[in-house]
Structures are given as structure tokens and as C-alpha cells.
Amino acid sequence: MVNNDVIKSNIQYHSVKKDIKMRIAICDNDMFFAKQLKLIISKFAKEKQINFYIDTYSGGEKLVNTSDVYDLIFLDYEIDGHKGIEIAKLLRAKKVLSSIIFVTSYPGFIIDAFKVITFRFCTKPISENDIFKVLDAYFKRYGYDFRLILSVKKETISVHTKDITFIETNQKHCIINLENGRKINCAMSMKDVFNLLPQYHFYRIHRSYVVNFNYIERYNKNAVYLKNGISTPYVGKTYWNDFQLSFKKHSIKPYFDDSIW
């Protein structure tokens, strides 16, 4: 017998990558609406080339009790005969830090929603344009970064990609360098870690180095200088032209829609 309280997505977007990146929960007892919302979010993911893993909950209790961690939660304001604000309060009481977007047919609730640190509001019926604007606003504020779960010796650790300045090879493994100066000796190869990173602002400059565009202060053919005072070796000849083009695009082209509300 199928449990319809929680529907786990077995589809990951963008389909080019198989690694789970950003996790999203939709909590709404109107499953037709939830399916419609999921399709819109998935379309956004494909267009932006972002990996989303989406779970759908038909009840607030299941969401509160889950051990899964989500970056973003779309929460119906009226669910199971209760106010979604109460579900949100329970989540915050459990130290759940997910960004919450309330979906409602009753726009008058907005003042109460600020008590649980709400990111945005959507009014039913939703449109593709509305959801795209909300997601654009989310990425404009938080950037295209996410948590990585990595194997380090006999431990499993969580690292946020926004804190990674560059990665260097260490024989068959790699060393992940963080903004605070910490170095993480990872049991994975650099190629495997690179494939987990947001491709929009991480770039391979050498067969032994990957850098985060967001930390580059300046560069020349001899070295890449980072904002924290550290420099990496030269950009490899085979990477030079593509590196310059990609860094220029990253620096001058807005990736997300600026017409947010």
C-alpha cells in the first residue's frame, strides 16, 4: 500500500548531473496543486541548470517529523485544518533553518508570517512567472551554493560550497581550501568533488586546481590571486582561453532575473 503522506521524488534536475544538490519540500494537501508547483519548479531547474531534489508532503506533521534537511520549503498556509504558521513555528522550534515560502489563498496573513522568518509569499492560483520570480529572488539573496556531504577519513562532514576558495589535488585525493584558512583532506578525487560543485562559478584552471570565481581578485598567466591573499599556480595553457571567457561571463552577466518583488 502506498503512503501518500510523503512522495519522494526520484527525478533530479538538471538531468545532466546525478548528484543531489538543492533539496526542496512542498507541503500542501491539495496534491493537484502540489504536482503543478513541482512541474514549474522543475522547469526552472532545467532552464537554470540547477539540480533540485523535490519531496511532496500532504500533511504538516510528516514535514515536522522528518529527518530530511531542506534548503527551501513551500508551505500551504491552510493545511490539515491548521494554520501553516503553526507548522512553521514547530519547524523553527526544532532549529530548522530552511527558507519558507508560504502559499496561500488568503493574503491577509502576511504580518503573522514574519514571526517565523518567512522568505516570500505566493498567492493561489500560482503562475509560472510568480514561482520563477520567487526562485530568482532566493538565488539572488543566497547565491547558487549549497551544502556538500563529504567523506573525510572515517568521518562524514558538511561543507558549504560558498566557503570553498579552491581545490587542489593530493595524489589520488584532494585538498579543499576554505575561506577561513582551513584545509580539508578529502578521500574523494578532485574530479569527483568538482562534479558536485555549482558549475556556474567553479572552474578548473589546471589539471591540479579548481577555483571559485567569487574569490578571484585578479589573475595573469603566472598565477590566480584570491581575495584572501592566497594565490594558486598559473592557468594551464589548455584552459586559458576558456577560463578568460567563463570568468568574463561570470563577472558581467547577471545570472538571475533582477525584476523581483
Q: Report the CATH number that the domain containing residue 27 is assigned in CATH.
A: 3.40.50.2300
Q: pTM of the prediction? A: 0.57
In whole angstroms, give the CA distance from residue 131 to residue 76: 14
pLDDT tens per residue across all 261 residues of the chain? 334 455 554 333 332 333 446 889 999 989 999 999 999 999 998 887 677 889 999 988 899 999 898 989 999 988 766 678 889 889 989 988 888 998 887 666 554 555 556 778 888 888 999 999 999 888 877 777 777 777 677 777 888 888 999 999 988 888 999 999 999 888 888 888 888 887 778 899 988 999 999 999 999 988 999 998 888 888 988 999 988 888 887 776 443 333 333
Residue 164 and residue 129 share a domain: no
Fill in the amino acid letter for 89. Answer: K
Cell numbers placing 107: 493574503
Together in a domain, 63 and 153: no
* Three-class DSSP category at 84: helix
Count: domains in the chain: 2
Verify that 30 and 134 share a domain, yes or no.
yes
Question: Do residue 127 and residue 47 come from a single domain?
Answer: yes
Name the domain boundary from 142, 158, 193: 142
> What CA–CA distance (Å, rounded) separates 144 from 164?
13
> Could you tell me if 13 and 39 lie in one domain?
yes
Asked if residue 179 and residue 132 are part of one domain, the reply reads no
Could you list the beta-strand ranges (E) of the chain.
Answer: 6-13, 22-27, 52-57, 72-76, 78-79, 82-83, 99-104, 118-123, 147-152, 155-160, 164-170, 173-178, 183-186, 202-206, 209-212, 216-219, 223-226, 231-233
Which domain covers residue 160, as residue numbers? 148-252
Q: In terms of domains, do 167 and 136 share one?
A: no
108: phi then psi, degrees, rounded to nearest 5:
-75, -5
Residue 54 CA to its chain's centroid (Å): 12
Based on the fold, state whether residues 130 and 185 are members of the same structural domain: no
Q: Indicate whether 13 and 131 sit together in one domain.
A: yes
